[in-house]
Chain A
Amino acid sequence: MYGNAYVENTGNQNSLTAGEDPVKLAEFEARIAAGEKIEPQDWMPKEYRRQLIRMIEQHAHSEIIGSLPEGTWITRAPGFRRKLALMAKVQDEVGHAQLLYSACETLGKSREDMINDLINGKSKYSNIFNYPAVTWADSAVIAWLVDAGAIINQLTNSKGSYGPYCRALDRICAEESFHLKYGHDNVVFLATGTPKQRQMVQEALHRWWPPLMHFFGPSDKISQHTETLMKWKVKMASNDDMRQQFLDMYVPKIWDLGLTVPDPNLKKNESTGKWEYTEPDWEEFKRVINGDGPCNKERLAVRRMAEEKGRWVRNAILKKDAQYVAPLA
């Protein structure tokens, strides 16, 4: 489950290709333009590697941290069937993190370094998981709409240029479709249930709407930087385009259930075909992503505890003479 990479937009216009061999760069760009995939052993610009490491790593962390707000509800899921399904979903998400960490390692960053950067707060993960799942209905809204957003992002990125990342995403997308159906089923069950159940899902939707609007990130600045990342097929669509796609697919489904979202200005402009909405509060987004959200501390503390408490298991089977070798592809 993941929204979108927070592409850094700093430095001067040519910073992405500064110091690169122009012949190799031209060959590299021609291969991407021809639809070829770049493999770990291939030559690549330093910035291509750096941006991909950051993006895939954030994605991996998001899968693992994203399983925490949902995991909270496993012990209290209403009924055995939902408990089993939620366990399977959470297990999938943790598995996705493993696939993505492996893909990222092919670019030269070790698994241990990634885990350390996460628990030290250096690496980011999808901001939406810094919010709490207050009721069972919150977990239903997450499974439906957060996963819906993630599928839009992941399908888009699976057409990118880096082979190992694309292959991991294809695998992930195949599993996410169950999450979406499971989430929709839970939301529909509550929305068509007793007045209390309906109220519960309505309140959860209101809680999750602002983070969902933040999910794809702020509007991209039009810059040489973004254009280069798009040419390199690191970034496959603008944040706004993905947000539009999300609104187009899911707002009608929400309204169809007679549920509302907390934005009186949300409507589709029939002449432009675009959704209009109140600009999300990007100050809050920045504040939360920089550590000051309702659950940032808890998420990292729980993740750190898992490493700490799991250490004896790893030590028990540790091979002292083992040598690290980065994966092949």
Chain B
Amino acid sequence: MIIKSLDPRITRAGIDDESKDGIQQPMDQWHTYEVFQQKKRGTHHVHVGSLHAPDAELAVLFAKEQYARRGQCVNLWVVKTSDVFTTEYEDEDIFATTPEKKYREPEVYKVMDRIQAYKAKQNT
């Protein structure tokens, strides 16, 4: 049946509600890109999400429409998701500081203790 609408444009389009066209095939929506946004000069680009695009040029255009709609952006990067190499959360422990690497932390250097002890010795 042809759709009759309150909106004259829809009625004029003569849409058949039995139509089966429009069904998506895999990759119809292209592949995904990750979007990085820089809010102001001097700050890091930060990952803000992803989108679908056929190529990098259009990905930048879509990134502007989807992630930078109300200003607060001076620069955008897009990277194909498949080009991003990531660590796994399961391996989160690789980032932990182990006790034997304490020499890399500022607070393990207790010079004042040594200075105090030295001064005390001088005065005796």
Contact = CB atoms under 8 A, between A and B. Distances in A.
Interface stretch (A46-54, A231-239, A254-262, A318-326): A318-326
Contact of A301 (B19, B65, B70): B19
A324 B25 CA distance: 12
Given A115-B24, A167-B49, A307-B24, A174 B70 contact: yes
Interface in A286-329: 297-298, 300-308, 311, 314, 317-319, 322-329
Interface of B: 3, 5-7, 9-10, 13, 15-17, 19, 21-32, 34, 47-52, 54-55, 58, 62, 65-67, 69-70, 80-82, 84, 86, 88-89
A249 interface: no
Contact of A300 (B17, B30, B52, B84): B17
B55 A39 contact: no
30 contacts: A41-B86, A95-B66, A95-B69, A98-B66, A103-B49, A105-B50, A111-B29, A111-B52, A112-B24, A112-B25, A112-B29, A113-B24, A164-B49, A167-B48, A168-B49, A171-B67, A298-B5, A298-B10, A304-B15, A308-B21, A317-B54, A318-B54, A322-B30, A322-B54, A323-B82, A325-B82, A326-B81, A328-B34, A328-B84, A329-B47
A173 interface: no
B32 A105 contact: yes
B56 to A, nearest CB: 11
Given A112-B29, A306-B22, 9 more contacts: A41-B88, A42-B89, A111-B24, A116-B24, A322-B27, A325-B32, A325-B81, A327-B49, A327-B81
Q: Name the residue among B3, B32, B50, B88 with the largest chain A CB count within 10 angstroms.
A: B50
B26 A110 contact: yes
Nearest to A42: B89
Looking at chain A's contact residues, the main secondary structure is: helix
A65 to B, nearest CB: 14
A154 B121 CA distance: 67
Contacts of A171: 48-49, 67
A72 interface: yes
B49 A304 contact: no
A322 B89 contact: no
B10 A39 contact: no
A296 to B, nearest CB: 10
A92 interface: yes
A203 to B, nearest CB: 15
A278 interface: no
A119 interface: yes
A302 B15 contact: yes
Contacts of A39: 89
Contacts of A303: 22
A309 B66 CA distance: 22
A175 interface: yes
A325 B31 contact: yes
Q: Name the residue among A171, A298, A306 with the largest chain B CB count within 10 angstroms.
A: A298
Interface in A216-250: none
Contact of B3 (A75, A132, A167, A301): A301
A72 B7 contact: yes
A260 B54 CA distance: 51
Given A301-B19, A305-B15, A328-B34, A314 B47 contact: no
